[in-house]
Amino acid sequence: MTAPATVEDLLRLHAPQVLGALVRRYGHFDDAEEAVQESLLAAADRWPRDGVPANPRGWLIRVASRRLMDALRSEAARSRRERAAVRLAPREVRAAPADDDTLTLLFLCCDPALPPPARVALTLRAVGGLTTAEIARAHLVPEATIAQRISRAKAKLRDHPFQPPGPQDRDSRLASVLQVLYLIFNEGYTATSGPALHRAELAREAIRLTRAVRRLLPREGAVTGLLALMLLTEARSAARTGPDGELVPLAEQDRSRWDRAAIAEGTALVEESLGEGPPGPYPLQAAIAALHDEATGPDTTDWPQILALYDVLVARSPEGDPMAELGRVVALSMVEGPGAGLTALTALEPGFPHTHRLAAVRAHLLERTGDRKAAAEAYRAAARTTLTLPERRYLQTRAARLDP
């Protein structure tokens, strides 16, 4: 993985590793998380001024450990933690590799004792480093709901042992682990807010962790498919923005800038994942991404095959996947025309109450029908609800071009 270029990148990379190390050594998940946040604030203040230490992870662990021990010994906690303060020596003296700690933390947060929504929210917070607001936007739910889920999850895990799960327990947590990794990757590939479209450090970290999970489970089709999907999607990242950071849609991208090595690896993994049992959502999405990446341009894209894959993907999503259904609408419009896409889009409106994506797709389809005024209005409606500046500028530009 490319070395992080900034202090912010370093802190995001090491935060889950440091939290994992503290929870492994001392327990007290909730207090350990607060201590890690304090160490990150200290680093953000000191490193730009004094320089990044030779061992950033070790520096953060030392500072966070001191803050945690101070908290455990504090007067307010003395009555209920006296015995814990006596046993402040680490439970394990071995220095676990960073990957071990992060991976164990990942599976700990996905404990089956927690409700699935709580597992995902806690893991995105502890391992992915996402804010509560970012997690809420990814799930299309209010921020207060996510905050409550995280708080309850941390309370339930307070006394759970920090150890790698056994094979059976690991399997029971795998679906949540993969869901979290995919959400982390998506936040990196297309940020839900802020001045940049792409948060490269998040996307890289998601790929790194998915590779680590695959080393644990090399013959698991879902893991292989997810890694393939990430590689095939991230391969286009260099062409997604212009010189001023503006968004460049897929149809207009310079495909010579796509990462051909990543595409080759991802395509090979797609074939491998499809041979590891009935394909689930990740191998199917990876197969769709491979068809896009292998095409020389929009006119040579195999849209009928993409539509067929989306049909299977939607049929195998029992609880419904709004983004898969939206992707199917786009593929349908490319096969049967924009009118068919607009008809199918109307049925999806209840599933997109808090996102700009449905309005953006409607605008694109209206533009293809030649209804410039309605398309411009839809582009403006989408621009009002997106929180990412490059997407907002792109949507506003499309609207202005159609309806000056």
In the block, tokens 């209005």 appear at 377
Check whether domain 302-404 has CATH 1.25.40.10, yes or no: yes
Stated length of the chain = 404
The 3-state DSSP class for residue 247 equals strand
Report which residue type is found at 182. Y
The 3-state DSSP class for residue 368 equals helix
pTM metric for this prediction: 0.77
The 3-state DSSP class for residue 92 equals coil
**Sequence spans of domains, the chain:** 1-94, 302-404
pLDDT (tens place) for every residue of the chain, 404 residues total = 444 457 777 777 788 888 888 887 777 777 888 888 888 889 888 888 888 888 888 899 999 888 888 887 774 555 554 455 444 444 443 444 555 678 888 888 888 788 888 888 888 888 877 788 878 877 777 889 999 999 888 888 877 776 767 777 777 788 888 988 898 888 888 766 666 667 777 788 889 889 988 988 888 899 999 999 999 999 999 999 888 888 899 999 999 999 999 999 999 999 999 887 788 899 999 999 999 999 998 889 999 999 999 999 999 886 678 889 999 999 999 999 999 999 999 988 877 766 788 999 999 999 999 999 999 999 999 999 887 888 899 999 999 999 76
In the block, tokens 């001191």 appear at 66
Report which residue type is found at 90. P
| Terminal C-alpha separation, the chain | 45
Give the integer Cα–Cα distance in Å for 28 and 74.
Answer: 14
Alpha helices in 255-387 (DSSP H): 260-274, 281-294, 303-315, 322-336, 338-346, 357-369, 372-385
Give the integer Cα–Cα distance in Å for 187 and 249.
Answer: 18
The backbone torsions φ and ψ at residue 333, rounded to the nearest 5 degrees and listed phi first, read -65, -30
